[in-house]
Amino acid sequence: MIGRLRGILADKRAPEVLVDVGGVFYEVQVPMSTVYQLPAVGREVTLQTHLVVREDAHLLYGFHTAQERQMFRSLIKVTGVGPKMALAILSGMAVDDFVRTIRVNDIAGLTRMPGIGRKTAERLIVEMKDRLAEWGADLQVVLQDAMPVAGHAERAVSQEAETALIALGYKPQEAARMIAGVMKADPGIVRSEDLIRQALRNSAQS
């Protein structure tokens, strides 16, 4: 099991990053909450990791904090929730917000995230309640600003944000609509990370 990865961030194309560890390049799937915390390409990065072994592939998932990884491991134990959906949940909702959502039986809040229908939301609430018993009520995950995206035109930034949303499970038309809505409401946003973050927030509140 690969528990932690430290190396040079060679590339980041949400939700995947490439980490150079002594000349070996690891492809790592990460949630958007981790993307927000990544340094600039070429800088050193450390990720808490979880390895999923399948018959056709070995998939590595990375997280900014051990808490995110712990939540990921709990989520993939839920019936019908795989790694992709677990990443989508962690991308659309901070860990402490997810804990509160489960504790108050907020099915509507869960179904606002892509790929989660009512039945899946109900399973999450039933199966996660016991697993979350040990989580502190004041659990906090602080999302800091990511490094600026430099040298990109406005359209390139919006396309990058749309691609990330599609990778998280949104349909192309929906992703385009979400990003267009954010840019119309706040044309001052110039980073794809900020576009994605605000689009996910708007989706959760709608």
Percentage helix, strand, coil for the chain under 3-state DSSP, each rounded to 5: 45, 20, 35
- pLDDT tens per residue, range 1-21: 788 999 999 999 888 999 999
pTM as predicted: 0.65
pLDDT of residue 98: 87
For each of the domains in the chain, give its residue range(s) and CATH number, in order of start. Answer: 4-63 (2.40.50.140), 66-134 (1.10.150.20), 154-205 (1.10.8.10)
pLDDT of residue 41: 94
Give the C-alpha separation, 187 to 126, whole Å: 41
Q: Is 143 left (phi over 0), alpha (psi -120 to 50) or beta?
A: beta
Mean pLDDT of 199-205: 80
In this structure, of 22-31, 50-59, 119-128, 148-157, the range with the lowest mean pLDDT score is: 148-157
Give the C-alpha separation, 178 to 158, whole Å: 10
In this structure, of 35-39, 73-77, 93-97, 201-205, the range with the lowest mean pLDDT score is: 201-205
Give the C-alpha separation, 137 to 149, whole Å: 35
Contact yes or no for 62/48 (Cβ under 8 A) = yes
Mean pLDDT of 113-119: 86
Mean pLDDT of 51-57: 85
- pLDDT tens per residue, range 24-43: 999 999 998 898 889 999 99
pLDDT of residue 155: 64
Question: Please, what is the average pLDDT of the chain?
Answer: 82
